[in-house]
Amino acid sequence: MEITEKELLYLKLLARQYPTIQAAATEIINLNAILNLPKGTEHFVTDIHGEFEAFLHVLRNGSGSIKRKIEETFADALPAKEKRSLATLIYYPEQKIPLTLKTVENEDEWYRLTLFRLIKMCRVVSSKYTRSKVRKALPPDFAYIIEELLHEQESVDNKQEYYQSIIQTIIATSRAKDFIIALSKLLQRLVIDRLHVIGDIFDRGPGAHIIMDALMDYHAVDIQWGNHDIVWMGAAAGSEACLANVIRNALRYSTVETLENGYGINLLPLASFAVDVYGNDPCVHFRPKPLRTEEYTENELRLMAQMHKAITVIQLKLEAQIIKRRPHYLMEDRLLLDKIDYAKGTIRLEDKIYPLQDTHLPTIDPVQPYQLTEQEQNVVERLKLSFTHSERLQKHIRLLYARGSLYLVHNGNLLYHGCIAMNEDGSFMAFKVGGEEFAAKAFMDRAERLARQGYFANDLEQRQYGQDAMWYLWSGAQSPLFGKDKMSTFERYFIADKSTHEEKMNPYYAFRDKEETARRILQEFGLDPDTAHIINGHVPVKVKKGESPIKAGGRLFVIDGGFAKAYQSKTGIAGYTLIYNSYGLLLAAHDPFESTQKAIEEERDIHSKTEIVETNYSRIRVKDTDLGREMQQQIHDLQQLLHAYRIGLIKEA
């Protein structure tokens, strides 16, 4: 085995970590052993849209993974009611323990039985991991004791008393409750090895900030940005058009608590301005969606409608400014304020004239319709300051950048939120910039770089360019996150004729059912079309109309089934999730989640219908994963290091 000078330099660096033949050989043995363990379970979710209660429950139950492990572990040994109680305990140990203790006669006996059951489950779940990996997952307070119990053989005669005494001592020292909580969280941690969030954490529902807090603490997560994520990223970076869209969405869906309570965004400047300008305007076409309006008084709803109208007009002006300074976006058709006849209260769209259903537009100058008034500019500047200085928001957006991307290739699957923009003939659509064309993967790579530039660049011009690109990703015709020919914001508010509201889907959505399309996309991203899958969301699957989430001959899965309550009337369910374990792929369709309170008190889990969509002939091992391929490269490097030691090129430390 010939070693080049460049390889020798690398091996000398590697020798600092493995300074002896024994150290290198031991690591080779260790890595080879890990390669033959079963692959960890991957959990895919998408389009959460602020529905924090349902999401946190699915996170706790691993889309049914906990229930499946209970069934595997206890089968006929426990009645259904006790299995259900055990599952609820694992999901919500802090809340469930005091409720259960009110119903039991002998607390110590309940603690003993529960601890034995949880330890047994932990042994089953941890068996697919190395001791080192399990040790890293253990809660510090109980790490030593749990490790002893996990690897203890209670059937061995001379160890039975030792094992029993640990359990009895935990109970006698009043640590049983804390120990059960620790074991339950360990089970939640071990049952899912990695979480994939395929976009749209924000908007629609009330708790995006709570979801982001949970993701901040999650042990292994990646995020593929959705259009509703990128607009928040742009807002946090300082894009005025993006922050206007964020506020408009919050007012439209009555989720201002995410802004005000979650992120401390001060909406008072907007409220004051709205009352000043639209105080006598009922703003009937800007009333919030009825989904959550019962939480507000009539006066609050009226104020929200006035704020909604104020920010919408500001948004239309700010977006026009981007369209004018970025002509290569080809979005001149969205410049509509100069098409209004303000005297007649009409607008010309192409060759047709439509009456406006709201003609009270006091802040628009017909001569300069896209110029902000002094008051509007002041409001925007104060809102921008609030977004860019929100500590919690900035932490969450940093997580989206650190763990996120426009797409991800992982373990033979391609993950992206929306689409790959296509032409009418099914070819990849090219975006032209300065004489260059970018299509499919190349465009995704460019757009992601610009999104990072918009947040991190020091140069103000580069930063502005990147922020404009984030806005384009939110609403541009060729955006892989948006996937429509236009965002008809103006038409939906101001024109009654619904034909003008239509947003034509990108041809991708017609072609994605075809297997040849999925295969071509997979090849574009360097994947084997015979074995790989595309997993995405964005467009809710209308299950009640017979639409299937499994498309393109099983090569593509759309797992947006309506997590957000706003979509459930269209889909008929409350979301899909996907599980990819060492045996294959399982698709779970979920019924609506009632509440955390009912889940705890009445043990109402989300009812999920699980379908096995792909089974492997042999169990998938770590060696078959991306991590396994990295380990095989490490083994190759360590074998080279051993060889260098043995032929005298490198000496042991």
**pLDDT class for 593, splitting at 50, 70, 90?**
low
**pLDDT class for 594, splitting at 50, 70, 90?**
low
Backbone angles phi, psi at 409, to 5 degrees: -105, 115
Q: CA-to-CA distance for 263 and 261, rounded, in angstroms? A: 6
**pLDDT class for 59, splitting at 50, 70, 90?**
confident
Section 233-247 average pLDDT: 98
User: Can you give the pLDDT at residue 293?
Assistant: 67
Angle (nearest 5°) at CA 429 between 428 and 431: 135
**pLDDT class for 139, splitting at 50, 70, 90?**
confident
Backbone angles phi, psi at 537, to 5 degrees: -140, -125
**pLDDT class for 204, splitting at 50, 70, 90?**
confident
* pLDDT tens per residue across span 73-89: 898 888 888 888 999 99
Q: In what order do the strands lie in the sheet with 608-615?
A: 404-405, 221-224, 194-197, 42-45, 576-581, 584-590, 608-615
* pLDDT tens per residue across span 279-338: 999 999 999 987 776 778 889 899 999 999 999 999 999 999 999 999 999 999 999 999
Distances (CA, A) of 646 to 21, 78, 623, 637: 8, 58, 28, 14
Residue 569 pLDDT greater than 60, yes or no? no
Residue 65 pLDDT greater than 80, yes or no? yes
Q: Which residues of 202-233 are buried (b: 16+ CB within 10 A; e: fewer)?
A: bbbbbbbbbbbbbbeebeebbbbbbbbbbbbb
Beta-carbon contacts of 118 under 8 Å, excluding residues fewer than 6 positions away, are 90, 180, 183, 184, 187
Q: Are 315 and 474 in contact (CB under 8 A)?
A: no
Structure token digits, residue 147: 């490790």
Residue with structure tokens 């024994």? 22
Kind and range of the H or E run holding 576: strand 576-581
Residue 430 pLDDT greater than 90, yes or no? yes
Residue 482 pLDDT greater than 70, yes or no? yes
The three state secondary structure string of 244-281 is HHHHHHHHHCCCHHHHHHHHCCCCHHHHHHHHHHHCCC
For residue 256, the one-letter residue type is: V
Sign of CA dihedral 442, 448, 453, 454: positive
Q: CA-to-CA distance for 628 and 562, rounded, in angstroms? A: 35
* pLDDT tens per residue across span 487-511: 999 999 999 999 999 999 999 999 9
Residue 230 pLDDT greater than 90, yes or no? yes
Q: Residue 648: count other Cβ atoms within 10 Å of its Cβ.
A: 7
Average per-residue pLDDT for the chain: 90
Between residues 520 and 4, which one has the greater pLDDT? 520
Q: Where are the alpha helices (H) located in 259-357, listed in sequence order?
A: 263, 268-278, 298-325
Q: Are 419 and 508 in contact (CB under 8 A)?
A: yes
3-state SS assignment for residue 515: helix
Residue 590 pLDDT greater than 80, yes or no? no
**pLDDT class for 423, splitting at 50, 70, 90?**
very high
Structure token digits, residue 105: 């006669």
Q: CA-to-CA distance for 631 and 327, rounded, in angstroms? A: 48
- The radius of gyration of the chain's CA atoms, rounded to the nearest angstrom, is 28
Structure token digits, residue 118: 């949880």
Nearest to 559 by CA among 465, 375, 418: 418
Beta bridge pairs of residue 509: none
Beta-carbon contacts of 187 under 8 Å, excluding residues fewer than 6 positions away, are 66, 69, 90, 118, 121, 122, 125
Residue 156 pLDDT greater than 60, yes or no? no
Name the pTM for this structure: 0.91
Section 446-457 average pLDDT: 97
User: Can you give the pLDDT at residue 61?
Assistant: 85
Residue 153 pLDDT greater than 60, yes or no? no
3-state SS assignment for residue 475: helix
Residue 92 pLDDT greater than 60, yes or no? yes
User: Can you give the pLDDT at residue 543?
Assistant: 61
Nearest to 486 by CA among 469, 497, 474, 494: 474
Structure token digits, residue 605: 């889990």
% of residues, the chain, pLDDT over 70: 92
Beta-carbon contacts of 353 under 8 Å, excluding residues fewer than 6 positions away, are 346, 347
Q: CA-to-CA distance for 135 and 479, rounded, in angstroms? A: 44
**pLDDT class for 5, splitting at 50, 70, 90?**
confident
Nearest to 241 by CA among 468, 486, 479: 468
User: Pairing between strand 533-536 and 556-558?
Assistant: parallel
Q: Are 585 and 411 in contact (CB under 8 A)?
A: no
3-state SS assignment for residue 596: helix
Beta bridge pairs of residue 38: 621
Section 164-173 average pLDDT: 87
Residue 184 pLDDT greater than 70, yes or no? yes
**pLDDT class for 608, splitting at 50, 70, 90?**
low
Structure token digits, residue 398: 């940093």
Q: How far is CA 293 from the centre of its chain?
A: 27
**pLDDT class for 142, splitting at 50, 70, 90?**
confident
**pLDDT class for 573, splitting at 50, 70, 90?**
low
Any idea where the domains of the chain sit in the sequence? 5-37+625-646, 63-191, 208-493
Residue with structure tokens 């380990």? 631
Angle (nearest 5°) at CA 608 between 604 and 609: 145
Q: Are 339 and 494 in contact (CB under 8 A)?
A: no
Section 121-127 average pLDDT: 88
Contacts of 273-281 with CB under 8 Å at 24 or more apart are 273/310, 273/375, 273/376, 273/379, 274/303, 274/306, 274/307, 274/309, 274/310, 275/303, 275/306, 276/375, 277/310, 277/362, 277/363, 277/375, 278/306, 278/309, 278/310, 278/360, 279/306, 281/306, 281/309, 281/360
Q: CA-to-CA distance for 515 and 496, rounded, in angstroms? A: 40
Highest-scoring range by mean pLDDT, 287-291, 583-587, 632-636: 632-636
Between residues 157 and 521, which one has the greater pLDDT? 521
User: Can you give the pLDDT at residue 605?
Assistant: 64
User: Can you give the pLDDT at residue 110?
Assistant: 92
Between residues 156 and 511, which one has the greater pLDDT? 511
Section 543-551 average pLDDT: 74
Q: CA-to-CA distance for 56 and 476, rounded, in angstroms? A: 32
